[in-house]
Chain A
Amino acid sequence: MARKSYQEKLTELRGDVLYMSEVVMERLRMGLSALEQKDTELATQVMEGDSEVNELYLDLEQECIELLALQQPVASDLRFIASTFKIITDLERIGDLAVNLGEYTHEAKHDRFPDVDVQAMGELTLEMIEDAMLAYDEEDTDACRELAERDDNVDQFAERASGVVVRDLIERELDSPDEVEQILQDVSRLLLTIRDLERVGDHAVNIAARTLYMVENDDELIY
């Protein structure tokens, strides 16, 4: 007789992971929005909301541990739980990066580099997370491979943006020590924002890599 309750728990775990991903994506959206609108209230909401993401992570980690301990899964079930264990860590980290955006919002008073489209980069990474989670849900390995290639766009975006900022820094003529201090803070914050969004893309690729392993036992994207 099939282990019905066990299969139901696996289905439930999958649903809970998808729910966590939605919460995390929403936090990221809010972080980007806060940054764009200089909305410190929204930024605070993102920062305070991190505890919810952490609790979700701990709950899902416990679900995985219990399934491993009590059901002793094998084959595709084992790969599903092992992959899920890793994926929730990526999601939790994305939540942390969204919190960073909230913190940057509190520090940023104005956009010193309007040519660097952080929002567009954020949208790219959000789409990547959404597609990675869709691939996880639908076990779509083509989408996993495509996603890994798409990460190059985010990397190139980050590289170009960093180049713009650094070039501007070199070429800019600074008059006072206060101005130097202010621009260093702004540059540093912008570079951190770019790095964080680039890392969001990396986490999305990690999710795709674990999904590919989960479905096909193929570790080609895991590095």
Chain B
Amino acid sequence: MSDETTGRLGGLKRTVATIAPGESRFETSNTRDANVETTDMTAEAGQSDVATTERNETESSSSGGVEMPTSDRPLGTPRVDDAVIEARDLDVFYGDTQALNEINMDIPEQGVTALIGPSGCGKSTFLRSINRMNDLIDVARVEGELYFHGKNIYDDDVDPVALRRKIGMVFQKPNPFPKSIFDNVAYGLRVQGKDDDVEEKVHTALERAALIDEVEDQLDESGLDLSGGQQQRLCIARAIATDPEVILMDEPASALDPVATSKIEDLVEELAQEYTVVIVTHNMQQAARISDKTAVFLTGGHLVEFDDTNKIFENPESDRVEDYITGKFG
């Protein structure tokens, strides 16, 4: 009888009783910004310039411009069958600083596409490129193409305000107008002259934003009196009231508590049945939970990997992405 452990693994020899946990013979080898809804106007403190510019654009937009294509009436042919947004060699510069570097990405219609990456990697810049929010920054310059239903949105004949009616946006900090709940949602409809059936449309938007049950009896009360989570859902209701095709979300739950965050996440999944949602988040678990596709931007404005979310979080191709999502750097 022998109570000694022997083997090739570590070449050591000792009694089982002497091996303490952690003392294995095996030598381990591993040891943001402007607040512009689909119809513009919203301003946050410090962002009034953007909002003002946007309002001016709204005013001038009534003079015309090319109508943005929709899935029913495409102006061009999408380069990828199910892609609603296609970036081709997209570069964005802020003065001399390059924020996005040759981005090529096809965002499929409907579903949720998450943009993740460390601070300053360009994910918010890319999000803002999709509805030309970067136009509002004087030093911003865009090169390359970004197609929406096959039409390059940076063509001279594209009206950014019309574009933003199709591609709405929800921001990190809830930013309801200092108006009643009803008027917050009705605002975009009225600006766009969609005055018929406003009551029904407001009700539907609040329903889709999973807020109606909580505010049905207080539609005349100020949107500012709602909780943070409710305010964010009000902003989502406002964004979808005008029936956009794409909803851009810039860290929409980062200022909310876990319960409100959970409601927003449920809502995003619900909205993705009908809309194309593109969401920027610093919360990788949130991206993993709610998105169908994930794009990982890393330092230098490079899109390093874009794939199905489960692929990214289970077995990414790029070692840099692996290191980022496992917290080894970033």
Contacts and interface: CB of A to CB of B under 8 A. Distances in A.
10 contacts: A15-B22, A16-B22, A22-B5, A26-B5, A75-B315, A75-B326, A76-B315, A78-B313, A130-B7, A133-B9
Contacts of B2: 29-30, 33
Contacts of B3: 26, 30, 45
7 tightest A-B CB contacts, nearest first: A18-B26, A217-B315, A19-B24, A3-B327, A18-B24, A74-B313, A11-B31
Given A2-B329, A73-B326, 20 more contacts: A3-B328, A15-B28, A16-B21, A19-B21, A19-B22, A22-B9, A22-B19, A22-B24, A26-B3, A26-B16, A34-B1, A72-B285, A74-B314, A75-B315, A79-B314, A133-B9, A137-B9, A139-B29, A217-B314, A217-B315
A79 to B, nearest CB: 7
Interface in B94-141: none
A187 interface: no
B172 to A, nearest CB: 22
A39 interface: yes
B328 A75 contact: no
A185 interface: no
Interface string B280-308: 00001100100000000000000000000
Contacts of A14: 28, 30
A105 B288 CA distance: 52
A78 B9 contact: no
Contact of A7 (B29, B284, B321, B328): B328
Interface of A: 2-3, 6-7, 10-12, 14-16, 18-19, 21-23, 25-26, 29-30, 33-34, 37, 39, 41-42, 45, 56, 59, 72-79, 130, 133-134, 137-139, 217
A138 B24 contact: no
A3 B329 CA distance: 8
A22 B25 contact: yes
Nearest to A80: B30
Contact of A19 (B23, B30, B326): B23
B288 to A, nearest CB: 7
Contacts of B312: 75
B1 A42 contact: yes
A8 B31 CA distance: 7
A155 B288 CA distance: 42
B281 to A, nearest CB: 14
B8 interface: yes
A90 to B, nearest CB: 16
B251 interface: no
